[in-house]
């Protein structure tokens, strides 16, 4: 599909901006930008690049014989100044400059540029301005090499009458490693027209490098490119090749149906086949002497020669021949073959023969950037009836590889392919890195999940163990509380019974003792419930000193008892469970005194020393037996364990037993 000039300009301008933004920096910059994309964005970009590459023109290199472009004289050092300049016919608005590198075949890299400058400036100026101004500048850091694609340089419509490439750092040529400035072609586009085509060229080198065929400064803008047009789209079309009987001065005439100001004709040569090597040097069917004639009258009474071309050798011909025409208005364009192409040889009998042929793949006649000959069947003065190849192929817009693109679009696509082929492996590299990261994360998550499962199992076992331990501790606490509370009450009932026996002669005292016994029995009935919910009772034993006194008065009713309380408000700040446990420990000590000591006096001391709390209970009884004087009673040992404290027992020198508890506050 042919783009309008405006669309072509927009495409090239956008591409130029993207090109300079993405590839006018180091390659690492592209990699850094790719790292900022998400995985989904990278995969989308990969798909877009793949899709775009499938639709872009492919690199198909010429083969056979032809001009190679321009080469300066060689130098021994790379940091040498070289330049070449294109002078235009007039001041022109310039939108793009295209540099087409000289191509060589590298054993490792394939087709790459040869002698393309490393550091260079593009300078533009007007007539009378010899200095000019820099349009674009490139250095080694721009990483232009290696490449086989053209380099497109946007110029944004600047007005100039000459363009100069000034190189300051050269690259080595392949065959001897010496440093040269080489270039296959420079194209300068004003809108869609290459205004540099076959214009005036000047170079820095004092002598022309090479013969007038292979390397010459005039090759810089002769329109010969090192590529075959392979658009990657459209159906194949075989070139037109005439039969042998051409007659004298054969012609091909195209009626454009209206008068146009034609400015360029592009002749596409006959395909040379896809075999390696080729059978012909690349000039098959192209006339040795060709004149292009324009006219507005059908009989060519007002004919004017627009272009006269003589072929001296195969280097004067290329698969795509772009020929500038003087800006004349004409309706009819005729290709007059003064000398057709011929084949010479010997027949089967050894007799010499010469066969004349005419052949083209396509004829494009341009006016204001548009091909005016598309779909117009040429008229011939010789027999052109199709036998193998139809003459309509000359204007069907297709070649051996598919569609024929406008020159500017074709070069744009080749340059775009170069950029995308650089980007594609970087995307794949970043994707591979991301996939490796994903794999590592999945492996890590697998280990985390496994660890969580194991941890959950361990946590379940620990929780179960702690639950069983809590049940066991609660059972021990309830057992201890029942033992302490019921034991104390039952012993008190027993003592009151003995006192009642002695007071049976005193009704008033007996009644009082029986009332106390009744109250103890009721308290014993409530003991079980009390022991199971004792920790839920709010504010229990917050006045610890008063609770100790009341408990001692109740249990040691007939004993003399003294209490030394030096703990201040330390007991109030303790956890309720610890405070209750301490009280029950103290209560158990009193029960042991009234049960086993036979004492008449008891003494209690509660005080703090640093982070520790000391509880000491002593009596004047007969003390612990000699065989068990250092053995802590089971009930006290159990209580001390629940408190996390240390308990010791001993006999006093003055007689009686002593119990000592030390615990953290």
What integer pLDDT is reported at residue 167 of this predicted model? 97
Is the pLDDT higher at 211 or at 165? Answer: 165
What integer pLDDT is reported at residue 212 of this predicted model? 47
Q: Which two tokens stand for residue 286?
A: 């192209």
User: What mean pLDDT comes out for the span 69-90?
Assistant: 94
User: What mean pLDDT comes out for the span 326-330?
Assistant: 91
Total residues found in the chain within this entry: 665
Q: How high is the mean pLDDT of the chain?
A: 85
Scan for tokens 């995307």, then name that residue: 427
- Asked if the peptide bond before residue 146 counts as cis, ω within 30 degrees of 0, the response is yes
Q: Are residues 378 and 253 in contact, defined by beta-carbon separation less than 8 angstroms?
A: yes
Q: Report the alpha-carbon distance of residue 598 to residue 538 in Å, rounded.
A: 36
User: What mean pLDDT comes out for the span 511-540?
Assistant: 65
3 state SS of 317 = coil
What integer pLDDT is reported at residue 535 of this predicted model? 52
Q: Report the alpha-carbon distance of residue 105 to residue 98 in Å, rounded.
A: 22
Confidence band of 209 (pLDDT split at 50, 70, 90): very low
Q: Which two tokens stand for residue 637?
A: 């040992």
Nearest to 174 by CA among 142, 145, 137: 145
**75 has which bridge partners?**
179
- Domains in the chain, start-ordered, CATH in brackets? 232-404 (2.60.120.260), 538-665 (3.30.565.10)
Determine if the pTM surpasses 0.85.
no
What integer pLDDT is reported at residue 186 of this predicted model? 97
The DSSP output letter for 287 is -
pLDDT in tens, 379-390: 999 887 766 688
Scan for tokens 């994707």, then name that residue: 431
Residue 634 has pLDDT above 70, yes or no: yes
Strands 560-566 and 601-609, bridge-based pairing: parallel
Q: Alpha-carbon torsion 314, 315, 317, 318, what sign?
A: positive
Residue 478 has pLDDT above 80, yes or no: no
User: What mean pLDDT comes out for the span 440-456?
Assistant: 95
User: What mean pLDDT comes out for the span 579-588?
Assistant: 85
What integer pLDDT is reported at residue 292 of this predicted model? 97
Residue 515 has pLDDT above 90, yes or no: no
Residues 423-444 as b or e (16 or more Cβ within 10 Å = b): bbebbeebbeebeeeeeeeeee
Question: Long-range contacts made by residues 37-45, C-beta under 8 angstroms, separation at least 24?
Answer: 37/430, 39/431, 39/434, 39/438, 42/427, 42/430, 42/431, 42/434, 43/431, 45/427
Residue 489 has pLDDT above 90, yes or no: no
Confidence band of 593 (pLDDT split at 50, 70, 90): confident
What integer pLDDT is reported at residue 10 of this predicted model? 42
Q: Are residues 15 and 152 in contact, defined by beta-carbon separation less than 8 angstroms?
A: yes
What integer pLDDT is reported at residue 6 of this predicted model? 40
DSSP per residue, 411-466: HHHHHHHHHHHHHHHHHHHHHHHHHHHHHHHHHHHHHHHHHHHHHHHHHHHHHHHH
Q: CB-hemisphere CA count at 13 Å for 73?
A: 9
- E strands in 277-413: 289-295, 304-310, 320-339, 341-346, 352-357, 359-360, 362-367, 370-371, 379-380, 398-399, 402-403
User: What mean pLDDT comes out for the span 582-606?
Assistant: 86
Confidence band of 521 (pLDDT split at 50, 70, 90): confident
What integer pLDDT is reported at residue 140 of this predicted model? 93
- Alpha-carbon distance values, 101 to 168, 179, 286 (Å): 17, 15, 26
What integer pLDDT is reported at residue 616 of this predicted model? 92
Percent helix, strand and coil across the chain, each rounded to 5?
35, 30, 35
pLDDT in tens, 26-40: 445 788 889 999 999
Is the pLDDT higher at 144 or at 634? Answer: 144
Q: What φ, ψ does residue 333 adopt, rounded to 5°? A: -125, 130
**36 has which bridge partners?**
none
User: What mean pLDDT comes out for the span 69-96?
Assistant: 94
Residue 418 has pLDDT above 90, yes or no: yes
Q: Return all residues near 26 (Cβ < 8 A) that are at least 6 apart.
A: 141, 143
Residue 221 has pLDDT above 50, yes or no: yes
User: What mean pLDDT comes out for the span 98-106?
Assistant: 94
**Direct distance between the N- and C-terminal alpha carbons of the chain, in angstroms, rounded to an integer:** 93
Q: Return all residues near 145 (Cβ < 8 A) that are at least 6 apart.
A: 112, 113, 116, 118, 171
SS (H, E, C) 227-257: ECCECCCCCCCCCEECCCCCCCCCEEEEEEE
Residue 16 has pLDDT above 60, yes or no: no
- Alpha-carbon distance values, 556 to 228, 436, 491, 656 (Å): 121, 81, 11, 16
Q: 10 Å Cβ neighbour count for 208?
A: 16
Q: Are residues 334 and 300 in contact, defined by beta-carbon separation less than 8 angstroms?
A: yes
Scan for tokens 């103890």, then name that residue: 520
Q: Are residues 182 and 116 in contact, defined by beta-carbon separation less than 8 angstroms?
A: yes
3 state SS of 595 = helix
Q: Report the alpha-carbon distance of residue 491 to residue 617 in Å, rounded.
A: 19
Q: What is the dihedral of CA 303, 309, 310, 315, to 10 degrees?
A: -160
For the chain, what percent of residues have pLDDT higher than 90? 51
């Amino acid at each position: 599909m042919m783009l309008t000039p405006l669309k072509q300009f927009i495409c090239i301008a956008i591409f130029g901006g993207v090109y300079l933004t993405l590839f006018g920096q180091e390659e690492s910059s592209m990699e850094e930008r790719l790292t900022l994309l998400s995985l989904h964005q990278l995969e989308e970009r990969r798909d877009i690049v793949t899709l775009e590459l499938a639709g872009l023109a492919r690199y198909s290199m010429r083969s056979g014989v032809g001009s190679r472009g321009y080469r300066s004289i060689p130098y021994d050092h790379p940091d040498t100044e070289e330049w070449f300049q294109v002078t235009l016919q007039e001041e022109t608005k310039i939108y793009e400059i295209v540099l087409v590198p000289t191509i060589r075949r590298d054993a490792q890299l394939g087709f790459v540029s040869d002698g393309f400058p490393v550091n260079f400036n593009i300078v533009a100026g007007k007539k009378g301005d010899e200095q000019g101004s820099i349009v674009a500048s490139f250095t080694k850091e721009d990483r232009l090499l290696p490449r086989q694609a053209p380099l497109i340089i946007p110029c944004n419509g600047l007005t100039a009458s000459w363009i100069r490439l000034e190189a300051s750092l050269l690259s080595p040529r392949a065959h001897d490693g010496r440093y040269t400035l080489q270039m296959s072609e420079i194209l300068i586009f004003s809108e869609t027209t290459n205004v540099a085509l076959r214009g005036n060229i000047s170079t820095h080198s004092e002598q022309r490098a090479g013969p007038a065929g292979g390397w010459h400064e005039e090759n810089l803008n002769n329109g010969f490119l090192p590529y075959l047009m392979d658009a990657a789209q459209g159906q194949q079309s075989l070139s037109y090749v005439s039969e042998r009987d051409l007659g004298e001065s054969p012609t091909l005439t195209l009626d454009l149906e209206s008068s146009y100001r034609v400015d360029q004709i592009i002749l596409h040569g006959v395909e040379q086949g896809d075999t390696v090597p080729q059978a012909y040097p690349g000039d098959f069917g192209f006339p040795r002497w060709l004149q292009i004639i324009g006219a507005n009258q059908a009989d060519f009474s007002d004919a004017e020669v627009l272009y006269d071309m003589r072929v001296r050798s195969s280097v004067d011909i290329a698969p795509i021949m772009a020929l500038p025409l003087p800006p004349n208005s004409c309706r009819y364009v005729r290709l007059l073959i003064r000398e057709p192409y011929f084949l010479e040889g010997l027949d089967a009998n050894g007799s010499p023969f010469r066969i004349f042929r005419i052949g083209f793949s396509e004829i494009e006649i341009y006016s204001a950037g548009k091909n005016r000959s598309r779909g117009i069947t040429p008229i011939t003065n010789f027999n052109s009836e199709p036998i193998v190849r139809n003459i309509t192929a000359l204007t069907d817009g297709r070649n051996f590889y598919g569609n024929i693109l406008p020159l500017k679009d074709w070069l744009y696509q080749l340059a775009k392919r170069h950029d995308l082929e650089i980007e594609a492996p970087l995307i794949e590299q970043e994707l591979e890195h991301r996939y490796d990261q994903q794999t590592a994360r999945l492996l890590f998550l697998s280990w985390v999940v496994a660890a969580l499962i194991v941890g959950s199992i361990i946590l379940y076992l620990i929780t179960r163990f702690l639950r069983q331990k809590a049940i066991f501790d609660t059972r021990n606490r309830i057992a201890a509380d029942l033992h302490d509370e019921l034991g104390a009450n039952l012993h008190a009932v027993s003592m009151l019974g003995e006192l009642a026996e002695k007071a049976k002669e005193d009704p008033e005292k007996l009644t009082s003792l029986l009332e106390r016994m009744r109250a103890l029995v009721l308290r014993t009935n409530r003991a079980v419930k009390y022991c199971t919910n004792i920790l839920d009772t709010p504010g229990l034993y917050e006045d610890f000193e008063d609770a100790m006194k009341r408990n001692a008065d109740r249990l040691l009713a007939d004993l003399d008892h003294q209490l030394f309380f030096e703990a201040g408000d330390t007991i109030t700040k303790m956890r309720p469970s610890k405070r209750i446990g301490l009280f029950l420990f103290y209560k158990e000590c009193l029960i042991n005194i009234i049960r086993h000591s036979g004492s008449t006096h008891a003494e209690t001391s509660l005080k703090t020393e640093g982070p520790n709390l000391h509880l000491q209970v002593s009596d004047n009884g007969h003390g612990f037996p000699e065989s068990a004087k250092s053995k802590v009673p089971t009930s006290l040992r159990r209580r001390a364990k629940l408190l996390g404290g240390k308990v010791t027992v001993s006999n006093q020198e003055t007689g009686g037993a002593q119990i000592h508890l030390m615990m953290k506050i």
